[in-house]
Amino acid sequence: MKFDTVIIGGGLSGLTCGIRLMEQGRKCAIVSSGQSAIHFFSGSFDLLSRVNGQEVTNPLESIHSLPSEHPYQRVGQANIARLAEEAPQLLDRAGMVFAGTAKRNHFVLTPMGTMKPTWLTLDDFTSFAKNDKLPLSRATIVNLQGFLDFHTLFIKDGLTRYGVEVQVRNVAMAQFEAIRRNPSEMRSSNIAKVFDQGDALDQFAEKVNKLGKESDVIILPAVFGLFNTTVPAALKARINKPVVLLPAVPPSTPGIRCQIQLRQRFQELGGTHFLGDMVREGKFKGNRLRYVNTNNHGDIQLEADHFILASGSFYSKGIKAGPYGLFEPIFGLDVDGENEREKWFDKQVFNNQPYMHYGVRTDARFRPMINGQPVENLYAAGSVLAGSNPLKEGSGAGICLLTSLHVAEQILQDQDDEERYI
Amino acid sequence: MNTSKDYDVIIIGGGATGAGTARDCAMRGLSVLLVERHDLATGATGRNHGLLHSGARYAVTDHESASECIQENMILRRIASHCVEENDGLFITLPDDDIAFQSLFIDSCQKAGINAQAIDPDYARLIEPSVNPELIGAVKVPDGSVDPFRLALSNVLDAKIHNADLLTHHEVTGIIRKGDRVTGVELYDHQTRAKVSYHGKIVVNAAGIWGQHLAGLAGVTVNMFPAKGSLLIFGHRVNTMILNRCRKPANADILVPGDTICLIGTTSERIPYDEIDNMYVSTEDVDVLIREGMKLAPSLATTRVLRAYAGVRPLVAADDDPNGRNISRGIVLLDHQERDGLSGFITITGGKLMTYRLMAEWATDLVCRKLAVEKQCETADNPLPGSEKNDFSVKSATRKIYSGSRVVQMSAQDRHGTLASNIASSDMMDDAMVCECEGVSIGEVNYAIKELHVANLIDLRRRTRVGMGTCQGELCACRAAGLLGEALEETVQAKDDLANFLQERWKGMYPIAWGETLIESQFTSWIYEGIYGLKPENN
Ligand SMILES: Cc1cc2nc3c(=O)[nH]c(=O)nc-3n(C[C@H](O)[C@H](O)[C@H](O)COP(=O)(O)OP(=O)(O)OC[C@H]3O[C@@H](n4cnc5c(N)ncnc54)[C@H](O)[C@@H]3O)c2cc1C
Ligand SMILES: Cc1cc2nc3c(=O)[nH]c(=O)nc-3n(C[C@H](O)[C@H](O)[C@H](O)COP(=O)(O)OP(=O)(O)OC[C@H]3O[C@@H](n4cnc5c(N)ncnc54)[C@H](O)[C@@H]3O)c2cc1C
């Protein structure tokens, strides 16, 4: 099988690359082996929230303080500013509406009841302009009876510190009795499935309206709209107070929905998606990758002019750690990181963990290397890249979206160059 | 509790020895206070192999310890059946080992009363398929596995049934003396940060390796010889029988199965006394443990390591030998009146987890002599709470009381024995699963919080195994923290508690942070710090 571009990994990065390239008329295939980080998505994409431990107000202006090997520095500040405008438009074309700008972080409420700076927030959730004060004085937190992944106590504790008066209520509904009977089934996605259809949502809203009469806002777990994208809006229309949703994982209901929408967008554009398949190895000719083999395709090779590695960090097995060192499992690419495992960690779990920075090493054009030699037609994007601690910086999705768009541009340019010389 | 109350006996240390002594004293009718600075079983008792020694390991080198072990082994099978797995053990000879040792070994076992039988290597492979197939000899012995957390807990529960008082998270900061008499203890309450004093006729120092410090507080000298040992827990149970090497005891030569896991240990390293609270497991320790462990069961090479931890053996240097060249592995009971002219103070230390009951008996006999109490020891005859034999079997009893799901039911029964019947299961809420890996229900968590002295999440983990499974406490920790916060009505502390729990868990993970463990760590950090927004400075 022959494609213009074969993308390894169908998380946020792989899908962004695929959509961008398909929108430009390139024929792409995505091979994706499993769950991706977006299944646990908080509802917000971070661009840059902290540099050297200091909270950032304007992410774009803070990029120059990052180390030179940081992916943002290597994409370049001007490119970042431009691509940061494009990213929400791409998401919008896929049917997802996000609020926020790269020039100024806004804030969202966390499940600990604290405020956190971020870049783009899905319209299910509520953005706040300031983090020192909340525009509310009385809140009702409503949980579904028996749902253990919504930690009302912590939310209440956090809000109380903001001077908010909080009451916590539980709602029991007959529709959930069946799933509650199996003690491990009362999880967010199963609840969301019930709300996806039928009259559960109406009944729920009615009960909530009775409980929250005295409050300015109703705080609920984000368990609305798994396959049915209209549910979050319908919920807000039926509840007669402003609704603030908070992440309730695992898994993330809005995260799964976003992943589905991105995948549908890619497929509607004509992209080929091999879900549940895994790239095993590649065949090189000189410095060029000719094709890859996958588990499900047996002898059928996936050939392409360009390849993108968007296989994620340790969590998705994009890079791996064994007792004797780090490696990239598909091609044996060069990995940036210490060899001795006692250097991988800090003994304090909440400190900056060195391993979080590790990933594949690339040249200036984001091409990974083998023994220091870049592979001519292979690019890497997203959390598989070395050079940042996205958790500590608050830069996770930003790095994914922006390096993906950047890499897609590199490929488009490459191809233009090649066509010119034909 | 009433601080002006004068106890007959105050026992320092909530390890197996202190818990056992509290039980024995209480059963003899004494009024008892047991104090522990952290939680039960946070010293050596919670940081060992959990090997229910048959005594075979000591048979060649230490006849006395060996015969104590086999006697206590048989007693614990009776009185603590819900803490014991009767797995049996194999002492294997590998091509590197001297096969001549085997006959000496069997002889010595038999002299100590241990039923040791040589079996054919082929047969050994048959009954224990995980064993190194290159073995050239095997001896079967009545080793077993013991859950030290449950053991310490059920001793304490029985002490309480016999009216003993318990203070956990209370540290002894001073020993009160009146001239040449000890009359009580000064305590620091770690939860309220208050200081309190309690008085008693006799104070028993059962503080394990920390006994040296406590003796110092009383103004007498006990020289401990701290020997640190590291262990690894593997993510599933590779072996069904305990595997040992048939040679003189050495590094990493015991593989003990228990519940759903198995553990290999230990290394042995002398450490300075001021490092006994710093239980760091080094990369070298981990490498030695895996390398040696593979010789017992080769499949360990590809089995996921779940946690690493270390403990310090409370060995005692002989009185005339402060350099510790002549250390005793046996039980050490010191009557400080006789030894140092200080009355009202006793130290019980040394020994093993295995021999905790015997140590308790010796210590209690001495206490009773001093208080002129005649009642005899009954701890070897009466089963511990959770291990009572009922008219109908434990299994059918719990099944009757439970309506809950099978996984939850079976796991709770394994953990609490007959006490599992105290776990609420009246509605669906009680049965909802907090920890999926270990099958812990809300009912069990609430039972533990109410009845089993739980002050924080880490204590809760010791009682219920919440967060002990293969996911190492990712999301169940947060669920449990919520329940705990509600039950204790301490919202503010609950976040601290969660952060502390994650740190404690990391301590056991970073020495082995590769493969799945590193993946889980990265995931957990993203969930707690990234999605939930948990930070230590929130607290
Ligand atoms: C649990 C979690 C939650 C997060 N939440 C947020 C958040 O709320 N906001 C934020 O800004 N950032 C968040 N992040 C940061 C996160 O890294 C990015 O947001 C982003 O989603 C990562 O996307 P990715 O595509 O680079 O990698 P991934 O999402 O990890 O996707 C990589 C994909 O590649 C596949 N793959 C790997 N190897 C192969 C192979 N050989 N063959 C085929 N497929 C393969 C994997 O199965 C996986 O599906 C989170 C990260 C984690 C781990
Ligand atoms: C690596 C290793 C492996 C082992 N393997 C085995 C085995 O397989 N089988 C076996 O039988 N034995 C084994 N042992 C030995 C066994 O663990 C110990 O002998 C036994 O647990 C000692 O129990 P203890 O109650 O005397 O001491 P500990 O369990 O150490 O209890 C002492 C308690 O005192 C408390 N304390 C200390 N200071 C104070 C204070 N100031 N105030 C209040 N409380 C205080 C501590 O917190 C602690 O909980 C092993 C030991 C180690 C280290």
Out of A183, A216, A241, pick the residue that ends a domain. Answer: A241
Say if A305 falls within a structural domain: yes
How far does chain A reach from its first CA to its final CA, in angstroms?
A: 23
Q: Is the pLDDT of residue A420 over 70?
A: no
| Smallest Cα distance from B412 to chain A, Å | 14
More confident residue, B324 or A204: A204
- Residue A71 and residue A387 in contact, taking contact as beta carbons nearer than 8 Å: yes
Give B455-519 as a 3 state SS string. Answer: CCHHHHHHHHCCCCCCCCCCCHHHHHHHHHHHHHCCHHHHHHHHHHHHHHHHHHHHHHCCHHHHH
Cα of A391 vs centre of ligand 1, distance in Å, is 13
Out of A241, A269, A286, pick the residue that ends a domain. Answer: A241
Cβ of residue A320 closer than 8 Å to a chain B Cβ = yes
More confident residue, B415 or A403: A403
Residue contact A349–B503, C-beta within 8 A: yes
More confident residue, B155 or B423: B155
Distance CA A165, CA B268 (A): 56
Q: Is the pLDDT of residue B487 over 60?
A: yes
Whether B265 is in the pocket of ligand 2, judged by its Cβ within 6 Å, is: yes
**Residue A357, φ and ψ in degrees, nearest 5:** -85, -10
- Considering the domain architecture, whether residues B219 and B237 belong to the same structural domain is answered as no
Place of tokens 């969930």: B527
Q: How many CB pairs under 8 A join A and B?
A: 144
- Considering the domain architecture, whether residues B196 and B233 belong to the same structural domain is answered as no
- Which of B506, B519, B534 is facing A112, going by the closest CB pair? B534
Q: What percent of chain A has pLDDT over 90?
A: 89
Whether B211 is in the pocket of ligand 2, judged by its Cβ within 6 Å, is: no
Helix, strand and coil content of chain B, in percent to the nearest 5, comes to: 40, 25, 35
- Considering the domain architecture, whether residues B244 and B135 belong to the same structural domain is answered as yes
CA atoms within 13 A on the CB side of B456: 20
| Smallest Cα distance from A38 to chain B, Å | 11
- Considering the domain architecture, whether residues A372 and A231 belong to the same structural domain is answered as no
Residue contact B485–A153, C-beta within 8 A: yes
Q: Assign A66 to helix, strand or coil.
A: coil
Distance CA B409, CA B431 (A): 9
**Residue A76, φ and ψ in degrees, nearest 5:** 100, 140
Kindly report the number of other CB atoms within 10 A of residue B55's CB atom: 30
Question: What is the atom index within ligand 2 of the atom nearest the CA of B208?
Answer: 27
Q: Is the pLDDT of residue B226 over 70?
A: yes
Q: How does pLDDT run across A14-67, given as a tens digit for each residue? A: 999 999 999 999 999 999 998 899 999 999 999 999 998 899 999 999 999 999
Place of tokens 């940060």: B193
- Considering the domain architecture, whether residues B342 and B218 belong to the same structural domain is answered as yes
Query: Which CATH number do you get for residue A87?
Result: 3.50.50.60
**Residue A213, φ and ψ in degrees, nearest 5:** -55, -40
- Considering the domain architecture, whether residues B260 and B404 belong to the same structural domain is answered as no
- Considering the domain architecture, whether residues A160 and A236 belong to the same structural domain is answered as yes
On average, the pLDDT of chain B sits at 90
Place of tokens 């082994």: B73
Q: Please spell the DSSP secondary structure of A205-253, one letter per residue.
A: HHHHHHHTTT-SEEEEES---SS-TTHHHHHHHHSSS-EEEE---SS-H
On average, the pLDDT of chain A sits at 95
Q: What is the pTM of this model?
A: 0.92
How many domains does chain A divide into?
Answer: 2
Whether B205 is in the pocket of ligand 2, judged by its Cβ within 6 Å, is: no
- Considering the domain architecture, whether residues A226 and A286 belong to the same structural domain is answered as no
The confidence score (pLDDT) of residue A309 equals: 98
Question: What is the atom index within ligand 2 of the atom nearest the CA of B13?
Answer: 34
Q: How does pLDDT run across A85-105, given as a tens digit for each residue? A: 999 999 999 999 999 999 999
Say if A117 falls within a structural domain: no
- Considering the domain architecture, whether residues A278 and A360 belong to the same structural domain is answered as yes
Write out the residue range of the structural domain in which residue B490 sits: 394-538
The confidence score (pLDDT) of residue B538 equals: 46
- Considering the domain architecture, whether residues A199 and A290 belong to the same structural domain is answered as no
Q: How does pLDDT run across B365-419, given as a tens digit for each residue? A: 999 999 999 999 999 999 999 998 754 444 444 443 334 456 667 777 777 887 7
- Considering the domain architecture, whether residues A139 and A70 belong to the same structural domain is answered as no
How far does chain B reach from its first CA to its final CA, in angstroms?
A: 30
In the structure encoding, which two tokens stand for residue A5, read together? Answer: 């571009």
- Which of B290, B515, B531 is facing A321, going by the closest CB pair? B515
Residue contact A110–B405, C-beta within 8 A: no
Write out the residue range of the structural domain in which residue A194 sits: 127-241
The confidence score (pLDDT) of residue B492 equals: 66
**Range in A224-233, B253-262, B400-409 with the lowest mean pLDDT:** B400-409
All residues of chain A having their beta carbon less than 8 Å from the beta carbon of residue B534 are: 112
- Considering the domain architecture, whether residues B89 and B219 belong to the same structural domain is answered as no
The confidence score (pLDDT) of residue B395 equals: 46
**Range in A286-300, A407-421, B50-64 with the lowest mean pLDDT:** A407-421
How many domains does chain B divide into?
Answer: 3
Say if A282 falls within a structural domain: yes
- Considering the domain architecture, whether residues B139 and B245 belong to the same structural domain is answered as yes
Distance CA B471, CA B475 (A): 9
The confidence score (pLDDT) of residue B391 equals: 41
- What is the average per-residue pLDDT within A201-209? 96
Distance CA B155, CA B22 (A): 8
Distance CA A190, CA A79 (A): 41
Q: How does pLDDT run across A255-310, given as a tens digit for each residue? A: 999 999 999 999 999 999 999 999 999 999 999 999 999 999 999 999 999 999 99
Cβ of residue A183 closer than 8 Å to a chain B Cβ = yes
Q: What angle is formed at CA B508 by the lines to CA B505 and CA B511, rounded to 5 degrees?
A: 135
- Residue B523 and residue B530 in contact, taking contact as beta carbons nearer than 8 Å: no
Confidence class of residue A342 from pLDDT cuts 50, 70 and 90?
Answer: very high
